Structure 1
Amino acid sequence: MAKLEPEARIRLDTFKAVTVKHAHLQVVDDQLSLWVEEHAEATHVLLCGPGGVGKTTALGVVAERLTREESDRFVVPILVLEPIPPDQGPYLRLDYYWQIIEALKEHVLVKELVSSVAHLMAAPRATRVKLGAIDWLKMRHVAEQALIRARVRAVFADEGHRLMQGDGSYSVDEQLEWVKSLSNRTKVLHVLAGPYALFGFRNTSGQLARRGRDIHFARYHVEDKEERTAFVAALKYLLERVPLEVDVPALLSRWRWWASGCVGCIGVLKDWLVDAVAATFVQHGTSLTEEVLTQTMPHPARRLSLEMEARAGERQVALHNSESAKKFQALLKQPPKKAEQTESALGSSPKAGEEKEASTIREGASESFPLPQITPKPTPRRVGSRAPERDPVGEAGATLERKNTGCPFTEVIPVSLAQMEEANLFCFECPVCLAVRDMHPKGAIVRFRWHPRRTTSTPNRGRRWIRREGVWTPSAS
């Protein structure tokens, strides 16, 4: 197996560390920095975008700059975490507390707190899952106090959509309420970065909509002149820093080829160039050639998956924004009726209640005296029998049942029927609740249909399509 020489390894690592401050990244940087410094009543920010657009890079750039600008050595302005993916069953809140404590345990003002939960921190994850309520609350208390004592301003949770998975018994609303409560108690902003699935969690209630903010980290669409100029500038910045001989003007002239190869995402473009530079070093080459770039270009199946996921997410964002604006304008054109306002105003006054009662008595006096009514004796129910109540039936019942037990993931899956037939695999695993469903699409679009939320934590067996880091791939077993 070919290995890189020490000098080539150093040059490659230097290129890997290059960060492109392109136009879209600058917009996200400015907005995120503003909310970290002055987030007012906001408790959480949802940073969403397609895979490879640069969300992790954006978090790192903001965190590195704010940390560098902080003059007080006892202050940890930004805490960057990556929620642990579930090994068995969905994500547990306890792991989030554990990560916060682990990241701050060396802080001089936090060390004494950690000693009270040292035995819990040292326990394996399987044991932590079985902790009692007292130990659980102790871990939360230490995590909250650690954030307060270290004067953390924001927690950046990369792959933050994992926090929304709960432990199987919590809904998305409850998970966001938990994040909001954690933020209120510590005055720390939580930034959740992840795929477009996070956009489905915003504005689930009025209170969460007020306390939440969202940022759409879009890719580049080279059909637009401004975006094409920004994309070419980012490409030029990277090519000029490639540790090889590069014909920059010739490669820049093929900007459309570059854009199709990276689907408009700078992160994918950077990975592509890193692979090309590594392949050139292995072959002991001295210049970056089009032949090597073609060999290392992302596979068409991968590009198809990224493109379909990006388009589905962009369509979801645009549709949500337009529909929300239309519904809001429609509500503004339908003010409450005057009769309803008068009735509500009268009903809130004690004097109005007395007048209404006197009017009822006068109306009754003008009529004939009613005959006494005999109330039938109620028949006692047998022990264990149900009390009389109306059961939801038809569409109303189905809607209510879906609302209570349904999983929120019903998105378009960027896997074509040809890919499914080629892999001879039609089984898909839900990335939110881990339910497994067979898909047999009749058209070109594959959508994960509505399904009840999975409540068990037994590991799935057998081959199936799974989503890892935003890409759907067949599992090994």
Structure 2
Amino acid sequence: MNTTDLAAQQKFVDYAVGHPHLVKAYDAALAAIRGANNGCQVVIVAGPTGVGKTRMAAGLCTSLKEDYANESGQNPEQIPVLYGNAVAAQGACFSWKDFYTRLLTRSGEPMTDKKLAIDRQQNLFADVTLAHYKQNSTADALRIAAENCLRLRKVRCLIIDEAHHMLMVRKNDMASLEFQFEAIKSLALETQTTIVLVGTYRLLDIRDLSGQLVRRSEIIHFPRYDCRDKDQKLQFAGVLKQFLEELPVKHSLSHVRDFRHFYNKTSGEIGILKDWLVRALNRYYQAKKKPGFDMDFLDRYALDNKALRTIATEALLGENKLADISEDALSQLYMGGLAVIPEEQVKPSAPQKKKGTVGRRSPHRDAVGVANV
């Protein structure tokens, strides 16, 4: 691939379309963040995978930094906006320890790996050397350090992309899931920082399972384009037209004739469409003998239909989950109460452990008759 091809490809990669769904979600999120001092502490931006949430989050970060440019100019130590990802856990549950470590590192906090909560231990065991406590940094110590950092650095907004990873818990472990909600709420309240959670529809669990957190939250929907809606079909076709016109290669693709196929192979999601075109363009430039840039060539680099079915199913389930209930249903709840307590609100009681007598071992059978040599 020569330098001319590389430049043409990069120009298309950098090309962005301010399409209607993106603009609407971006404006709503920015307004919610700017108005957070009036009561909202957590802004949730939820949408399907591949819709363009990461690009929108980066745009929010840029705009907010401009908002606080004068304030941070007068206070060099201030970091008005922090942006980062919630990295998926290697195990079954999200690692807050890893999250706090990355947060402190991004903010330039020194000696992140040396954070220890030892004040209380030192008071109790003053004669024990400090080296005795130098083990791995605890999540509590890192949490305190992160809270202090956000306060002292005067962070106004913390944007967390891929935030649905924060809700990763073992299957049916509602207690751990509730802990995740409470940790997010406490971080916002203790630091008076507006937290922006950007992720998939999994974030809607916050609304359904945590009344305290949702009271301090505002949910922004960033949807795909739904082909069942005539206006949205036209909007998707308009975005498709702009991308096809921007392609730096000759082609015969049409946003009218090929609309249905483009929609089916992207599930109406602009991020998937852009990734598909970028992937095909890269392979085109890599080819020594240039093929025709037509639909047959594009289809080689499209997602397979099973993957698209999974994406579409998740999107439809998320849209249904986002749908509100009627006011009549709410009135019936107020007047009639709960006929059945929802399963997610029922907390199984922990099994009672039998208490033994101090100094007396529990009965068990000792080995007899054979000596170990």
Give TM-score scaled by structure 1 length. Answer: 0.61
**Identity rate of aligned residues, in percent?**
25
Q: Displacement, 1:286? A: 8.2
Q: Structure 2: where are the runs of 5+ without partners? A: 117-132, 351-373
User: What corresponds to 2:348 in structure 1?
Assistant: 404
Q: Displacement, 1:189? A: 1.5
> Separation in 1 of the partners of 2:333 and 2:344?
25
| Matching residue within 314, 322, 335 for 2:319 | 314
Q: Displacement, 1:33? A: 0.5
> Separation in 2 of the partners of 1:86 and 1:239?
38
- Distance 1:299-1:206 versus aligned 2 partners, 3 A rule: closer
User: What corresponds to 1:330 in structure 2?
Assistant: 332
> Separation in 2 of the partners of 1:401 and 1:317?
20
Q: Displacement, 1:333? A: 5.7
Amino acid at match of 1:59: A
Deviations 1:225-263 (A, max 9, x none): 211221122112222222222446x34432222111101
Report if aligned partners of 2:81, 2:155 keep a CA contact under 8 Å in 1: yes
> Separation in 1 of the partners of 2:188 and 2:275?
35
Establish whether residue 94 from structure 1 lines up as the match of residue 97 from structure 2: yes
Establish whether residue 163 from structure 1 lines up as the match of residue 170 from structure 2: no
Report if aligned partners of 1:78, 1:156 keep a CA contact under 8 Å in 2: yes
Deviations 1:313-344 (A, max 9, x none): 222222xx126x44313245669xxxxxxxxx
Q: How many residues align?
A: 323
Deviations 1:442-477 (A, max 9, x none): xxxxxxxxxxxxxxxxxxxxxxxxxxxxxxxxxxxx
User: What corresponds to 2:277 in structure 1?
Assistant: 273
> Separation in 2 of the partners of 1:233 and 1:211?
37
- Distance 1:251-1:144 versus aligned 2 partners, 3 A rule: same
Report if aligned partners of 1:48, 1:193 keep a CA contact under 8 Å in 2: yes
Amino acid at match of 2:21: H
Report if aligned partners of 1:56, 1:158 keep a CA contact under 8 Å in 2: yes
> Separation in 2 of the partners of 1:328 and 1:401?
18
- Distance 1:159-1:258 versus aligned 2 partners, 3 A rule: same
| Matching residue within 225, 234, 238 for 1:233 | 238
Of structures 1 and 2, the one scoring higher in RCO (CA 8 A, sep 6+) is 2
Establish whether residue 283 from structure 1 lines up as the match of residue 287 from structure 2: yes
Report if aligned partners of 2:115, 2:145 keep a CA contact under 8 Å in 1: no
> Separation in 1 of the partners of 2:269 and 2:344?
40
User: What corresponds to 1:54 in structure 2?
Assistant: 52
Amino acid at match of 1:290: M
User: What corresponds to 1:453 in structure 2?
Assistant: none
User: What corresponds to 1:14 in structure 2?
Assistant: 11
Q: Displacement, 1:24? A: 0.6
Amino acid at match of 1:22: H
> Separation in 2 of the partners of 1:309 and 1:204?
19
Q: Displacement, 1:45? A: 2.3
Report if aligned partners of 1:94, 1:139 keep a CA contact under 8 Å in 2: yes
Match of 1:79, SS? strand
Q: Displacement, 1:69? A: 4.7
Establish whether residue 185 from structure 1 lines up as the match of residue 190 from structure 2: yes
Deviations 1:168-191 (A, max 9, x none): 795322221221111112111112
User: What corresponds to 2:114 in structure 1?
Assistant: 119
Establish whether residue 63 from structure 1 lines up as the match of residue 61 from structure 2: yes
> Separation in 2 of the partners of 1:257 and 1:31?
31
User: What corresponds to 1:28 in structure 2?
Assistant: 25
Match of 2:51, SS? coil
Q: Structure 1: where are the runs of 5+ without partners? A: 106-110, 122-127, 336-394, 407-477
- Distance 1:399-1:210 versus aligned 2 partners, 3 A rule: closer
> Separation in 2 of the partners of 1:235 and 1:272?
12
Q: Displacement, 1:157? A: 1.4
Establish whether residue 298 from structure 1 lines up as the match of residue 300 from structure 2: no
> Separation in 1 of the partners of 2:62 and 2:246?
21
Q: Displacement, 1:7? A: 3.1
Match of 1:87, SS? coil
Deviates more, 1:183-192 or 1:8-17: 8-17
RMSD: 3.2
> Separation in 1 of the partners of 2:45 and 2:348?
27
Amino acid at match of 2:31: L
Match of 1:91, SS? coil
Match of 1:47, SS? strand
Q: Displacement, 1:98? A: 0.8
Q: Displacement, 1:62? A: 1.2
Q: Displacement, 1:402? A: 6.5
Q: Displacement, 1:67? A: 2.3
Report if aligned partners of 2:237, 2:255 keep a CA contact under 8 Å in 1: no
User: What corresponds to 1:358 in structure 2?
Assistant: none
Q: Displacement, 1:118? A: 4.8
Match of 1:220, SS? coil
Q: Displacement, 1:277? A: 0.8
> Separation in 1 of the partners of 2:87 and 2:204?
21
Report if aligned partners of 2:209, 2:344 keep a CA contact under 8 Å in 1: no
Amino acid at match of 1:328: L
Report if aligned partners of 2:92, 2:169 keep a CA contact under 8 Å in 1: no
Give TM-score scaled by structure 2 length. Answer: 0.76
- Matched ranges for 1:336-351 at <5 A: none
- Matched ranges for 1:140-219 at <5 A: 140-165=143-168, 170-219=175-224
